[in-house]
Structure 1
């Protein structure tokens, strides 16, 4: 059965609308729009110094379109001109013990599996450099990190003198930085022209067919199944499933070695090698197109009900005069509060990242507080933006003598 027939038979068209838009993943010229959120901040992690700057922050629209040719999902209203990643872009997660364990385990495995000892490595979208420095520490490697938001010297490391940071957006101009391993973590979802981006990586490798490539991004199947609207925001213009990600890599000259989930099945990871001839190797973890259509239909059919449930939750806590705070001031928080239109229902937002403290959240206007603030405030409920951190949060609360109910998003 053709993919268009699968869409028609599944009844997806009843909960979507067709738009003329070129898929940046495969070039198909028609997408099905299934989710829309208007007037949301165009950035979530730029740290602002005043509440007024945060409230006046530029906004845009999120209109998700599903490609019935390759299964890719993109924001058809995304405007790359509104992207402004700079040194005040604060997305560092390494202040969390839970995240650090994941990163260390991942780096250790990659070093071992790809024999990354005394090698030259490249990380595209390296943020503040934590992971690249870790790879270089573990294997005595040398590295180049490319990211407009990197702050050289922020992360202390014995490998610092072996790592060069380039404060620029990745492009074909950086083809000279290849080495024996390329990684790119939580960057591709911020890239609109996805085919062009991954093809640029492949072109930079040329005929060095032993160069390993590793990408990590959010998994969109989880977003669809859990209706995780907090993971849908303007910065993320590109949404991948195992199948659509693997197809992109094959189409750009790679053979997929592995595609899998990690970090509580929130992250989608792919490992690939460049090939001289097109690969037709399908990985067992790639979902079928029919399955993906059903996931999109489920989300489109039920998301309004989930949003209404959360709005009713906030109406109830306001009526009961409960003190409610949000734990986690990043993109999930911005999407959660602005999508629901319940900014004023939450009094405070806390975060463990000290570089966020005293700053204000784009579009939300809340000042970001240290967890220590909760010792005095003693909230009734704490909404946890990512459930994977509940155990470490509860441990911190117990240590501070804060008795609050944790409400994780799920």
Structure 2
């Protein structure tokens, strides 16, 4: 690492004694912090008081100059209490469903996943695992503490077993022909330990394919996407840091790419008997990640101030502003800006969220139908990829309003 690059980082970050859970390096650069945010964003609560009294913690992001990994250095694993009331199901969105269908079909064709055994680590309510088993006549095992067997209706249900638990060495016998893990690794603090556990479970079966999907942190840094930084996400990967982790844990990276509006980072890998040194073209250099971290650290306050002023202006003008999307982005948006009082209502298409209250925010989640009577002046969409389907829903309901996105 060149001294000039590290010197440029010194202007925006503080070097501290923290161990990188990705590579074991013993110093991290601290460059961003948010204090007093809810330790869970998607646990559905039954009362406003319970939501407002929900436990809070801090986010302090540290960057590893050795492997490029970013982690919350003050993350406390005691709050990783996922349960069936953890509501992160996205399959009520036509946009997301089309993405999942296309992804499942592509993986089935690429790896001939027909009449095979598939394991999904962090399967949530089982949507994607059931889809893989339906389309390819496969058998499946899903492991997740928040799973709710029977939630998703499927003709493949009798071929899929759900285990309500955290993945660990005890499930080393659950390997199969294909292992997938979507939007789970970012919730794991000891990342190298976790991926190594997956590798040990595979053993000498070198034909097993591993597929992981996580948020892409390069986009977060470059676009100043503060709404994608929240307590549950203790681990933040760029293409380079993700690929380095998999190689260090005994895998060869066979593919690495972005999807879903460049928001997701997807990796496909195979176990190898000897360490792989094959670098994928998408991997960025450590120098590039340093520049992205520096950009984020020096520019984020300006973006936060913009949104604070926008919400303040709308309130002063007596405008009715609604947030569409009650998940983690919404929680991060409102708590990071400390402007909970500027938004009166939050809506969501997931019926399992309706009537529940948002942790740390205390807002009750409403159905989109609510907007017919409320008649908002502005709807802020938490993820721009959903703008078209949301606009269509508003048009069908006869709700005339301005739609903007983060």
TM-score normalised by structure 2 residue count: 0.99
Alignment of 1:138-287 (within 5 A): 138-287=135-284
Q: Distance in 2 between matches of 1:296 and 1:174?
A: 37
Q: Distance in 2 between matches of 1:177 and 1:315?
A: 52
Q: Secondary structure at the match of 2:162?
A: strand
Task: Report what 2:105 is aligned to.
Answer: 108
Task: Report what 2:41 is aligned to.
Answer: 44
Q: Is the 8 A contact 1:323 1:379 kept in 2?
A: yes
2:6 alignment partner, one of 5, 8, 14: 8
1:403 alignment partner, one of 388, 396, 400: 400
1:295 partnered with 2:296: no
Q: Secondary structure at the match of 1:135?
A: helix
Q: Distance in 2 between matches of 1:287 and 1:375?
A: 47
Task: Report what 2:362 is aligned to.
Answer: 365
Q: Distance in 1 between matches of 2:4 and 2:87?
A: 42
Q: Secondary structure at the match of 1:297?
A: helix
| Deviation for aligned residue 1:297 | 0.3
2:134 alignment partner, one of 132, 137, 141: 137
| Deviation for aligned residue 1:319 | 1.0
Task: Report what 2:59 is aligned to.
Answer: 62
Q: Distance in 1 between matches of 2:222 and 2:107?
A: 29
1:122 partnered with 2:119: yes
Q: Is the 8 A contact 1:7 1:68 kept in 2?
A: no
1:31 partnered with 2:28: yes
Q: Distance in 1 between matches of 2:364 and 2:225?
A: 24
Q: Distance in 1 between matches of 2:111 and 2:125?
A: 24
RMSD of aligned C-alpha atoms? 0.6
Q: Secondary structure at the match of 2:368?
A: coil
| Deviation for aligned residue 1:334 | 0.2
| Deviation for aligned residue 1:82 | 1.2
Stretches of 4+ aligned residues off by more than 2 angstroms: 4-9
Q: Is the 8 A contact 1:47 1:90 kept in 2?
A: yes
| Deviation for aligned residue 1:19 | 1.1
Task: Report what 1:334 is aligned to.
Answer: 331
Q: Distance in 2 between matches of 1:82 and 1:194?
A: 17
Q: Distance in 1 between matches of 2:4 and 2:131?
A: 45
Q: Distance in 2 between matches of 1:358 and 1:231?
A: 24
Q: Is the 8 A contact 1:4 1:68 kept in 2?
A: no
| Deviation for aligned residue 1:73 | 0.1
| Deviation for aligned residue 1:5 | 2.2
Q: Distance in 1 between matches of 2:253 and 2:66?
A: 20
Q: Distance in 2 between matches of 1:277 and 1:299?
A: 37
Q: Is the 8 A contact 1:28 1:67 kept in 2?
A: yes
Task: Report what 2:309 is aligned to.
Answer: 312
Q: CA deviation digits over 1:359-391, x for unaligned, max 9?
A: 000000000000000000010000000000000
Q: Distance in 2 between matches of 1:395 and 1:383?
A: 15
Q: CA deviation digits over 1:216-264, x for unaligned, max 9?
A: 0000000000000000000000000000000000000000001100000
Q: Secondary structure at the match of 1:372?
A: helix
How many residues in Structure 1 have an aligned counterpart in Structure 2?
406
Task: Report what 2:78 is aligned to.
Answer: 81
Q: Secondary structure at the match of 2:90?
A: coil
Q: Secondary structure at the match of 1:144?
A: strand
Q: Is the 8 A contact 1:249 1:255 kept in 2?
A: yes
